[in-house]
Amino acid sequence: MDTPSSLARQQGGDHYVHPIQPIEYIMKNELDFCAGNIVKYATRAPHKGQFESDIKKIIHYAELWLELQHQKYD
């Protein structure tokens, strides 16, 4: 019996029904935590019913990313 891929099922909700899952894009492009969350929230924002909340999360992660990258190179 073949076990279905973890990528083929959604754990809670259907806001990630896309040709490529955000996690696939994030992992294949080796994005860090902040960048990965930006991709995740941008992908789900139009579909989850919390558009404003997800956009605010994108902004917050972008600010964190900028701040942490700035500290990294100081």
Give tens-digit pLDDT for 4-54: 666 665 555 655 567 888 899 999 999 999 999 999 999 988 887 789 999
| Residue 31, both tokens | 């994005």
Which of residues 72 and 22 earns the better pLDDT score? 22
Separation CA 42–CA 71 (nearest Å)? 25
Is 60 a member of any domain? yes
How many folded domains does the chain comprise?
Answer: 1
| Amino acid (1-letter code) at residue 22 | P
Q: Which domain holds residue 39?
A: 19-72
Distance between CA 26 and CA 22 in Å, rounded?
Answer: 6
Take residue 37 and report the two structure tokens written for it. 């969350």
8 within a domain of the structure (yes/no): no
Q: Is residue 66 part of a domain?
A: yes
Q: Is the dihedral of CA 30, 35, 38, 42 positive or negative?
A: negative
- Are 18 and 43 contacting, i.e. CB atoms less than 8 angstroms apart? yes
Does residue 62 form part of some domain?
yes
In a domain, 27, yes or no: yes
pTM (2 decimals)? 0.74
